[in-house]
Amino acid sequence: MRFVLIGLDGLRPELVTPARMPALSRLMAEGCVLGRQSASFPTETYVNLPTLVTGARPSGHGMVANFFLDPRVDARERFEGFDIAKIEKATAAYDGRLYTTPTLGEMLAADGRRLKVLSANSAGSVRLKQPVTLLDALCLSVHQPAASFPVAEVQAIIDRVGPPPAPKSYPDIIGGRWMTDAFLAAIAPDLPDVTILWYGEPDNAYHIFGIGSDTALDAMRAVDDEIARLVAWWQAEGRDRDVQLVVVSDHAHITQTRRIDLAAQLRHAGFTVDRHLADGADIALVPGYCGNLLVRDRAPALAAHVAAALMEMDEIGMVFSGPAAPAAPRVPRRPEGIVAEGIIPGTFDRRLVGIDHPRAADLVFILRNSDQADQWGLAGTCLHDNSLGDGVGINGGLHPAEIRSLAVFAGSAFRAGAVVDTATGMADIVPTLLALTGQAGRIAAAPHGGRPVWEAMADPAAAARLNRIDPAAIADAVARPDTIQTLTTGTGRFTQSLDRLIRDDRAHVTAGRRL
């Protein structure tokens, strides 16, 4: 059994219709759709790609934001997930382990199997799908082949298909087409155990032109054309070779409406603010719709003062801090069994959203969002603190429209024409593939690790026996309903709420908001 995993960066699932994306719509109708699929928080690409390829949440793998400052790596420069040089610098600082849990490439290699990754978004995001450069795995960046490896294999693909497009255009229709060409000509004839094909659209178009813009819709149609080509290959020959198709998006988008200057507001509140702490500032701020900050000397009292100032601002939607109490051995199912508040009064414990890791910032915040419709009538708008401009797509927070993501399975291993209505997330995709090949023992444990989605499998009992798991236990787990939780905390006039679904000791956040 082999797998081809197709990634559609940033795709907002509700926009998938037969008119806009006929090939994907047909595949969804014929395959198995995860109807409650969610992105990991922060709902950002450079968080969710590591979540995908490790089968673990950020609390397990350590990529806690698209951008974050870790003085152990660099006292002045933040980690940025699109930057190969910064990824390599962080890897060296972490003694060669960028992630604190094994990657899919490593797990496959340990069993004598192989991964190939082709990706048309940033070179950094390609590397984040396979960061171990010495592993026997292909990592091909369409737009930066010089950052790809192994060099000889990359060159052989280019020799066969022709040079990839450079520089990248927006929307990146040509890059996606070249990647499909490369797969069909150079990868499909001799498939590895797992192939990842990651398309940068429609994320690029959403960010630059807006979610409902004509350009974004054109980008969706273009990437659907590539899916049609891949499905045609699969139906002609891949399915007979026991190839399973998986289609996912890493997050969705809402529309940003107005920029605020959070650094200026913090300075007005009496703090010194910089991009780092090396020159003695009170706060090192990583701004954004979803942002984070460190405080000088990691001082708890200073962090509490900063959090109090944030919660006084009308523009702040949610605030998270470190844990106030030791972790429970299991995720409590009843809200009254949970200590929702973080170590700072009024904030949420960052464990509730899966980002409690030594690399996590002192405070993580989300600017205010709402259910207000944007200029295209799509629900979900927010404030922002970035240079993208008003009226375009953004992601990172906990509005339901940006959390919900796409996941579709198709092939002999999966139920046909089905919708799974239990809670699933990005961390569950790889565990499902591993379980189908008898490697469930490699999955990270709860609450950090994901779980196999037995509910999506055509024969979960057979998969259970393959992994030496009692099929009756799996049947009981599948039949068990999700537990719904709504948690609140706050101080003064600031109150925030968090909605979660609990399944198999794993929490899936479905919404977060300021009340």
Tens of pLDDT, residue by residue over 261-281, are 999 999 999 999 999 999 999
User: How confident is the model over 165-187, as a mean pLDDT?
Assistant: 95
Alpha carbons 251 and 324: distance in angstroms, whole number: 29
Does residue 329 surpass a pLDDT of 60?
no
Does residue 40 surpass a pLDDT of 70?
yes
Does residue 350 surpass a pLDDT of 70?
yes
Band (pLDDT 50/70/90 cuts) for residue 334 is: low
Question: Which residues, other chains included, contact 235 with Cβ-Cβ below 8 Å and sequence gap of 6+?
Answer: none
Alpha carbons 502 and 505: distance in angstroms, whole number: 6
pLDDT on residue 333: 64
Does residue 167 surpass a pLDDT of 90?
no
Band (pLDDT 50/70/90 cuts) for residue 48 is: very high
pLDDT on residue 291: 98
Query: Is 7:249 a contact under the CB 8 Å cutoff?
Result: yes
pLDDT on residue 336: 63
Q: Provide the CA 319 distance to its chain's centre, in angstroms.
A: 20
Query: Is 31:416 a contact under the CB 8 Å cutoff?
Result: yes
Does residue 406 surpass a pLDDT of 70?
yes
Q: What is the 3-state secondary structure (H, E, C) of 80-117?
A: ECCCHHHHHHHHHHCCCCCCCCCCHHHHHHHCCCCEEE
pLDDT on residue 166: 84
pLDDT on residue 134: 87
User: How confident is the model over 88-106, as a mean pLDDT?
Assistant: 96
Question: Which residues, other chains included, contact 188 with Cβ-Cβ below 8 Å and sequence gap of 6+?
Answer: 233, 237, 238
pLDDT on residue 425: 98
How would you class 334 by CB atoms within 10 Å of its CB: exposed for 0-12, middle for 13-18, buried for 19 or more? exposed
Does residue 254 surpass a pLDDT of 80?
yes
User: How confident is the model over 228-234, as a mean pLDDT?
Assistant: 98
Alpha carbons 65 and 364: distance in angstroms, whole number: 10
Q: Say what percent of the chain tops pLDDT 70.
A: 98
pLDDT on residue 356: 96
User: How confident is the model over 107-125, as a mean pLDDT?
Assistant: 95
pLDDT on residue 328: 62
Band (pLDDT 50/70/90 cuts) for residue 332 is: low
The total of other beta-carbon atoms located within 10 Å of residue 323's CB is 15
Alpha carbons 343 and 350: distance in angstroms, whole number: 10
pLDDT on residue 325: 76
Write down the mean pLDDT value for the chain. 96
User: How confident is the model over 436-448, as a mean pLDDT?
Assistant: 92
Query: Is 37:412 a contact under the CB 8 Å cutoff?
Result: no
Band (pLDDT 50/70/90 cuts) for residue 338 is: confident
Alpha carbons 404 and 250: distance in angstroms, whole number: 9
User: How confident is the model over 395-403, as a mean pLDDT?
Assistant: 98
Alpha carbons 382 and 257: distance in angstroms, whole number: 6
pLDDT on residue 395: 98
Q: Provide the CA 206 distance to its chain's centre, in angstroms.
A: 16
Band (pLDDT 50/70/90 cuts) for residue 331 is: low
